Each structure stands twice: as C-alpha cells, then as structure tokens.
Amino acid sequence: MTDPTRDVRHYFVDEAGDLTLFNRRGRIVVGCQGVSRVFMVGVVHLPDPAGVSRALRELRARLMADPYFAGVPSMQPDAGKTARCFHAKDDVPEVRREVFALLPGFGAKVQVAIRRKAKLARDAQMLFRMTRRRLTVDQVYDDLVKRLFKNLLHKADENQVLFARRGKSDRQEALGAAVASAKHNFEAKWGIASDRPTLIRSGYPSESAGLQVIDYYLWALQRLYERREDRFFRLLADQYRLIMDLDDTRTKAYGQWYSDSNRLELKKIKPATD
C-alpha cells in the first residue's frame, strides 16, 4: 500500500536533435541538410503522472474520433504515430495546438542541458588528436544526464526516473551510473547526503505520458534554437526552471544559464550557427 506521506518524485528524460558530427570522410557536417546544430537532453518533473496520462489519453481519444482527422496519415492506427502517442515532430499542427493547450496545466518543472554541435565537433577532433580516442554519443548523453540530475535527487523520499529508450539497448546500468555520479557530485559540493532511493528505468513514449510531455518541451526549445522561432517556447516558458546553454561562453566559462532570475528570450541566444 502506498504511503500518502511519502514524497515520491517522478522524472522523465528525453533528448532532441542528433549527435551526427562528421561524414564518412571525417568532415564536419553540423548544420547540413538533416543534421541538427544543437543537441539537448531534458528532464521534466510531473507531480501527478497518472493525471497527465489520463488527460492525454482522453485528448487522443477525442481527436481520433473527430472526422476532421479521418484522412490524416499520422492519425491512422497502422502508422504508429499520433494514434499511438503524441510526438511533436509527427503530430499535425492542429494536434500540436491541442497538446500545447493542455501542457501548462500539468504543473511541469523542466530542466534542459544543451550542447552546440560545432563546439562538440571541435572537442572531438582535439580528443582524437591528443589521445586517438573518439568521442562517443553515449559519453555526451551521459555527461548531460549528470549535469541535469546534480541538484535534483536530494529533494524527495524517493525518486523514479524514466529515460526514453535510445535504440535497442536500454543502457540501464550506464544510466544508473550517470545518476549515481550526479548524486556524488552534489554531495561533494554541498556536503549534503543525496542517498534517496532512486529507481532507474527505460521505456518508450507510447508507454509513458511523461515522455510525451518532455518531448513537447524539447521540441519547442529546439525550434527556438534551430529556427529562431519562439512562438511555441513562449506558450511554455514559465515551466522551464533551468536551461543550461553550456557552449555559450561569451560571458561565463561554464556557459549561459537561464532561470527565473535570467529569463530566456530569443534576443539573448547566441546563434546556433556560431
């Protein structure tokens, strides 16, 4: 039986963008057709995951029953897209509008860590020249996970973290190690124990409304960075608690951090082409 006095926090983690840096000849292809300029990992804390799941399920049922969407390819059950789960890239604009209208009511708290891939490519080149080792996708991803969870896991009696699966492997052990490292870094910095029980799992967005929610927040932020289009971000701006633009080192060596005390606006962002 669940203890109602026990504070259990639910976190959902996904990524946006890709980590393609070079072509087969070793040339940097960041920003080329089909290749993103930024890569980001985000986490959302949802106080009521069951309520979110119910709301999105009811919305999907209503949209699927609407004759307006009868001929839309992504709405067909055999397409494996919107009929199965919400995904901002696949959903048609009319569906996105409905999802965006629901999101602010979920009490979401979002944190995102961003790497600019032009800088990543230069880092990868330097690493190879100096050590003959290659920078891997998992190394970049796990580093961002450590940064995101460094100050999150000491706040509740128990944490449950669901990662969106990346490829065929759930990488359960590696993700657990990244989260454990984040706890250790917090304890080392603040001298405060961060030993709360933390359950690490991996899953698909079709299995979790929380993963569908973080997908939408990342999509809106990616549009802001990649296309300098802020209309989607502005709909959700209040729920982004922290955005770490780690490679915008114009004023600080550790990057530019956006929060309530420094709200992110389009005019503040260093162009992703730099």
Secondary structure of residue 254 in the 3-state scheme: coil
Calpha distance 153→43 (Å, rounded): 12
SS (H, E, C) 53-113: HHHHHHHHHHHHCCHHHCCCHHHCHHHCCCCCCCCCCCCCHHHHHHHHHHHHHHCCEEEEE
pLDDT band at 11 (very low <50, low <70, confident <90, very high): very high
What tokens were used for 64?
Answer: 């699927």
Q: What is the pLDDT of residue 255?
A: 96
pLDDT band at 181 (very low <50, low <70, confident <90, very high): confident
pLDDT band at 168 (very low <50, low <70, confident <90, very high): low
Over residues 227-243, the mean pLDDT reads 97
Query: What pTM was estimated for this model as a whole?
Result: 0.93
Over residues 132-148, the mean pLDDT reads 92
pLDDT band at 102 (very low <50, low <70, confident <90, very high): very high
Residue 223 burial by Cβ neighbours in a 10 Å radius (0-12, 13-18, 19+): middle
C-beta separation of 86 from 62 below 8 A: no
Distance of CA 43 to the CA centre of its chain: 5
Residue type, 255: G
Segments making up each domain of the chain, as ranges: 8-268
Over residues 241-262, the mean pLDDT reads 96
Only one residue has tokens 């087969």, namely 24
The CATH architecture assigned to 8-268 reads 2-Layer Sandwich (3.30)
pLDDT band at 207 (very low <50, low <70, confident <90, very high): very high
Please give the DSSP secondary-structure letter assigned to residue 268: G
Secondary structure of residue 121 in the 3-state scheme: helix
Contacts with 254 (C-beta within 8 Å, 6 or more apart), sequence order: 246
pLDDT above 70: percentage of residues in the chain: 91
Q: What is the pLDDT of residue 272?
A: 75
Q: What is the pLDDT of residue 182?
A: 72
pLDDT above 90: percentage of residues in the chain: 75
pLDDT band at 179 (very low <50, low <70, confident <90, very high): confident
Q: What is the pLDDT of residue 190?
A: 62
Q: Is the pLDDT of residue 72 over 60?
A: yes
Query: How many residues in total does the chain contain?
Result: 274
pLDDT band at 180 (very low <50, low <70, confident <90, very high): confident
